[in-house]
Structure 1
Amino acid sequence: MAEQRPIGVQGYANSLSITHEYDYQVGAEGIETLLAVSVVVRGRIRGALYGGLRVNQPLSDRLTDFVVERAQGLAREIDIRDEVDRRLAMLASSGRIEAPIARDDRRMDAIIESYLALRSIADRIEDTDLEAEVTAVEHILRRILPTDRRTSTVKLSKREIEVLEYASLGCRNAEIAARLSLSVDTVKTYMRNLMGKLDVATRAEAVVEARRHGLLG
């Protein structure tokens, strides 16, 4: 599909204005009228959205506008993701997010993972005595985890800075977790802890405050 404008086709099977490359798939669905809208990012086609009707009739402007809006929204998301990947590549080349993980950070990862696992297990235990024992261990681990108290000089661990670096680039928790080989819950814990240290309520505020303290570039 080389066109960057919406293409509507009535009587798909007999149309001479298309390549018929997907006749089998379209025919199997009984599509008579087809709409195709390119997903254009910075002048380059990155994909396409298709819609179809099982009747041979003109496409309404309302339907066409709806699909065009969705294609434009998808293009914006792709553009943002491209920019995130570009910035991540720049950070990686500068060594800011690919530095070896400190041993203490690895220990903290293990502690957080263990704590979250125990919480999950405790919620499913029906034996009250066993639940109490698991909860006791959970409380011990909880005391080891970073607190939310803010000191006069804000200090974030290397892992917390890594999480916040990705967040500052627009990455969501799931993507941060994938890039750092952590669970989503662990990322949430790091985010909650660093927000407590920075005394802020949102991720955006955390980024601003961290930059004010010189913790982020």
Structure 2
Amino acid sequence: MAADAAGTAQIGGALVRLRRATGLPVAFGGLVEPGRQRMRISEFSGAAGLALRGVAVIPGNGLGGKAVALARPCAVTDYSLSRQISHEYDAAVAEEGLRSVLAIPVVVRRRVRGVLYGALRSAQPLGERTLTAAVQAARDVEQALVVQDEARDLLAAAEVRAAAAGSGRGGGAAAGWEQVREAHAALRALAPRIADPVLRAELLDACGLLAPGAPREPERQPVVLAPRELDVLACVAAGATNAAAAERLGLRAETVKGYLRSAMRRLGAHTRGEAVVAARRAGLLP
């Protein structure tokens, strides 16, 4: 999967929202490079030139490096004159004409994954409203990265479990299929939360790869379920109550009941258990 592409897309979207919320003329940022102790500035919004594009920020150096090292927001009113930071990047900052700058780290599981910057071309305090908006933009990126990390972990686990279930025998195979079903339900619940369309499509493709491994009855008439009906049924198959499925999918309990009733009707089932069995026989669930 294009992990870096998905992450940088989240950064880019956050920068646009930050400028829209604050009126800042320039916002920029980037991700910490995997396996390397540096953050590279790659995304921009606003009237920025090329001086900062591609600049690698080392932890502790400059304003962004300080934010990475401390894992907390940092700001200066006049970048070139500030005594609170080191000045390795003064030339690039001056070429862009930036004076008042803030840097907000993107922290996921206690690890800094990126930095968002906002800047003015005049030396004046950025204010609490701007800082709050910047922190919120960083939190949005953090949440998106958490969801993407969960998705990748689930995909990896699903592949391992599917392989184990396919090669296992007896009780081990049965246990393996239960794990596959749990992974399938988790993937179905997570997919609607993924903003990146490429990653979301990969998750749904993985769900499709897991389900065909289940026993099928080819003579049965093909059954088609709506995506949300299948999401609910996958949760039920993993042992979730209606209330638990609602919490997992971000729906109301009554909505879950409605989807479940509709799925049962399409499958010709009279109970939740019958619906799950019918869906497995139709190859819709693992």
TM tier, smaller: 0.5 to 0.7
Q: Quick one: structure 1 residues 67 and 57, their matched pair in 2 at CA, closer, same or farther if it must change by over 3 Å?
A: same
Partners of 2:188 and 2:204 within 8 A in 1: no
- Does the C-alpha gap of structure 1 residues 83 and 164 become closer, same or farther in structure 2, counting only changes over 3 Å? closer
Q: Which runs of 5+ in 1 are unaligned?
A: 100-162, 182-195
Using the alignment, how far apart are the partners of 1:21 and 1:36 within structure 2? 16
* Aligned ranges 1:1-217 → 2 under 5 Å: 1-95=68-162, 166-170=187-191, 173-177=197-201, 197-200=223-226, 203-210=227-234, 211-212=236-237, 213=276, 215=280, 216=285
Cα deviation, 1:50-104, whole Å, max 9, x if unaligned, reads: 001100001110000000000011101101111111111111112369x8xxxxx
Aligned-CA RMSD value = 3.4
Equivalent AA in structure 2 for residue 197 of structure 1:
V
Normalising by structure 2, we get a TM-score of 0.42
Shift of 1:5: 2.2
Q: Contact between 2:187 and 2:204, CA under 8 Å: does it hold in 1?
A: no
**1:165 offset after TM fit, Å?**
7.8
Work out the CA distance in 2 between the residues paired with 1:51 and 1:173.
27
Letter in 2 for 1:23: D
User: Which one has a bigger Cα radius of gyration?
Assistant: 1
Normalised TM-score (structure 1) = 0.54
Q: Displacement of 1:28 after TM fit?
A: 1.7
- The question of whether the paired residues in 2 share the 8 Å contact of 1:6 and 1:35 is answered with yes
8 Å CA contact 1:8, 1:36 repeated in 2: yes
Task: Report percent identity of matched pairs.
Answer: 33
Equivalent pairs, count: 140
Relative to structure 1, the CA distance from residue 91 to residue 199 in structure 2 (aligned partners, 3 Å threshold; closer, same or farther) is: closer
8 Å CA contact retained: 1:87, 1:169 = no
Letter in 1 for 2:138: A
